[in-house]
Structure 1
Amino acid sequence: MKMSSIKAISADILKVGTSRVWIDTTNLDKVLDATSRDDVNKLIGLNIIQRRAKKNHSNQRLKKRINQLSKGRRRGPGSVKGTKYARYPRKRRWINTIRALRSELRDLKEKETIDKPTYRKYYRTIKSGSFSSRAQLVSHLKAESLIKEDKNENNTSA
């Protein structure tokens, strides 16, 4: 029987593709003498014909790329898809800013650094978009002399 036929039969028996069938070249005469499926099956039992291990695809390059992305690399202008505001919408920017400012104002009220009327006034002022950051809000409140000095701070400095 031809070698290609033996390979095809053994691939069918082993339930793999022909490329994964390995034939021992030292016993070629026994292999070529095989005339039936049973003969091929016996050769498989004698380990003259074997199934090769599966070759897997390596994820090494993928893992390396993901690691680089997590460090903020590979994000140059050539990788940018979408406009500035498609990637970070104006509304999301506004939400982040307003939440930060409101939490700062709430903290100042809870520490009793500002009183309730000031809190209400500046809550509305923040909503109008007058402040762009926490630092700007606090510096404005200090400039207007609306922040009360904390009693604990005076004791620690004395």
Structure 2
Amino acid sequence: MVDVKRLAAEILGVGESRVRISPEALDRLEEVTTKADVRALIKEGLIYTEYAKGVSRGRWRELHEKRRKGRRRGVGSRKGSKYARLDPKEAWVSRVRALRRYLNSLKRRGLIDAKTWRDLYLQVKGGRFESVASLRAYLISNNLLKQQR
């Protein structure tokens, strides 16, 4: 026996699950042997395709409302470290502010003079130091700190 549903799906260009065979055609299915026979049944309207089902608006809305709820910034949604998730500009601003605070405290305490302060300030602005620790190391290695009195 020929698999009529499979042949019809092939001819109609749809999946087998969308092919429907009318109950009136059931007695004529034994006679079907070729694709031409199946085409004849399709022409008569005894074999037809079911409409493709889409996604209902209600279901779509339900799915997208879930996504809209909340900020979804929980631990399970995160990829990358705390610092990898930082906005580069925000990271730069906070680093520069910390470095400038440190430089100003050194100047206020008299540990660096105005000229050194200006040079270091511009280097900070240029992104030379990646942290307060690296600035401190630079000051020590270049003997730029005056001795505390």
The TM-score normalised by the length of structure 2 is 0.49
Structure (1 or 2) with the greater helix fraction: 1
